[in-house]
Amino acid sequence: NAGVTQTPKFQVLKTGQSMTLQCAQDMNHEYMSWYRQDPGMGLRLIHYSVGAGITDQGEVPNGYNVSRSTTEDFPLRLLSAAPSQTSVYFCASSYSTPGTNYGYTFGSGTRLTVV
C-alpha cells in the first residue's frame, strides 16, 4: 500500500518550459488536491478534484492545469514555467462520504526550481 506517490522528487526547469508533476494514490480516495508550499505562506491550494472527471480551481490556479481521468491519478501541468513557480508542490488525497470531509493524506512532495 504505497499511499500518495509523487514524481519527480526534484526538478529544475528553465523559464518557459512546460512539465507535468505526477500524483497517484492507491487508496481509492475520491478527493485529490494540489498544494504549493512557500516559506511563510503555508500551503496554498492550486487545484482540487472531488471525483474522476471533476476538477476546480483553488486559491492560486494561474499557470497550472489539471485533469482527473481516473480515480487514481491527478497530474499537475505547468504550462510555461516562471521563477514565481519555484516552490515545493504537494499532492494530497482523501476519502469522503457525501457532505463530509476526512483527513487528507499527503505525498512527500516535489521540489521545483525555475531558473
Partner 1 sequence: QQQVKQSPQSLIVQKGGISIINCAYENTAFDYFPWYQQFPGKGPALLIAIRPDVSEKKEGRFTISFNKSAKQFSLHIMDSQPGDSATYFCAASGGRGSTLGRLYFGRGTQLTVWP
Q: Is 64 in the site for partner 1 (CB under 8 A)?
A: no
Which range, of 17-25, 36-44, 65-73, 77-85, touches partner 1 by CB under 8 A?
Answer: 36-44
DSSP category for residue 76: E
The C-alpha cell of 45 is what? 491550494
Residue 72, number of CB atoms within 10 A of its CB: 17
Determine, following the binding rule CB under 8 A, whether residue 1 of this chain makes contact with partner 1. Answer: no
**Per CB under 8 A, does 23 bind partner 1?**
no
CB of 19 to partner 1, least distance (A): 20
**CB nearer to partner 1: pick between 26 and 59:** 59
Q: Single out the residue of 9, 18, 14, 17 nearest to residue 114, CA to CA.
A: 14
In the complex, minimum distance from the CB of residue 33 to partner 1, in angstroms, rounded to a whole number: 7
Question: Could you give the CA distance from residue 36 to residue 88 in angstroms, rounded to a whole number?
Answer: 6
User: What is the DSSP pairing of strand 42-51 with strand 54-57?
Assistant: antiparallel
Enumerate binding residues for partner 1 (CB under 8 A): 4, 31, 33, 35, 40-45, 48-50, 56, 58-59, 90, 92, 94, 96, 98-109
